[in-house]
Amino acid sequence: MAKEDFCFTYYDGDAARDTTHMNRLERGAYHDLVISQRKFGHLTLDQIKKVLGRDFEECWPAIELIMQRDQDGKFFIEWLDTSITKMRKQSTKQRNNVTKRYQQSTKNLPTDYQEATNSLPNNKMVIPLGNGNGDGNGNGNGDDKDTTKIVVESTRSPAFQSAWQEWKEYRKEIKKPYRSRKTELAQLHKLASYSDEEAIKMIEQSIRQGWQGIFPVVPERNNNQHPNPGKI
């Protein structure tokens, strides 16, 4: 079974009630089965024998008393099964919520970069400075009343287009290609806050340092200490 992206709740009270009649060896065997059930699901008797090894004959009689069996005859610890089912549902719900938020945030983005630039008045883009990344959340000091706006040309020079193509090829090489045009467009929108020359230097810096994202240029001596270089 592949590793799942959630943690289950360990109900120590239920575990304590399960093991109250067990000695130390039997309790250790019980917790080995907790780990195995989390990893493999319900267990056959042969799988339990494999997990417990030479301790099976001594420990199984005490453990069998608290084990439940499913319709296929496999054994499972009831409270653990309930916890895993509950957390799997919660994980799926969280994943769906993230997907919905992403879809809502990107549904109005143009599907093509040229379409985005052509739709702007006078072929210019107005972007709030925000927190320094052009995200529109204020002026970088938490004061939305004095929001600074940056006006830049949306069309890019041949030099930038060449650098951008090099950046895309680099991302392919590190196994991080853009999965959709919307994702690529979102990155281009962030770079719209910078001139072609600045943006090219940022791209070159990220490729040189082996980063996954594009960040403002920092002094050479501090490049390897850039905050969160792995974030996109």
**Quick check: is 203 in a domain?**
yes
pLDDT of residue 17: 92
Same domain for 134 and 205, yes or no, is yes
**Quick check: is 202 in a domain?**
yes
For residue 33, pLDDT over 80 is answered with yes
Same domain for 84 and 128, yes or no, is no
Can you tell me the distance from the alpha carbon of 72 to that of 3, in angstroms, rounded to the nearest whole number?
A: 23
Can you tell me the distance from the alpha carbon of 190 to that of 201, in angstroms, rounded to the nearest whole number?
A: 15
**Quick check: is 109 in a domain?**
no
For residue 179, pLDDT over 70 is answered with yes
For residue 69, pLDDT over 50 is answered with yes
Can you tell me the distance from the alpha carbon of 55 to that of 37, in angstroms, rounded to the nearest whole number?
A: 18
| Domain count across the chain | 2
Q: Among the ranges 71-75, 148-152, 171-175, which has the highest mean pLDDT value?
A: 71-75
- Which residue range forms the structural domain that includes residue 86? 12-101
**Quick check: is 34 in a domain?**
yes
The 10s digit of each residue's pLDDT in 57-68 is 999 999 999 999
The 10s digit of each residue's pLDDT in 121-134 is 444 444 443 344 44
Could you tell me which of 44, 65, 63 has the C-alpha nearest to residue 55?
63
Contact 188, 113 (CB under 8 A): yes
The model's confidence at residue 12, banded by pLDDT at 50, 70 and 90, is: confident
pLDDT of residue 125: 44
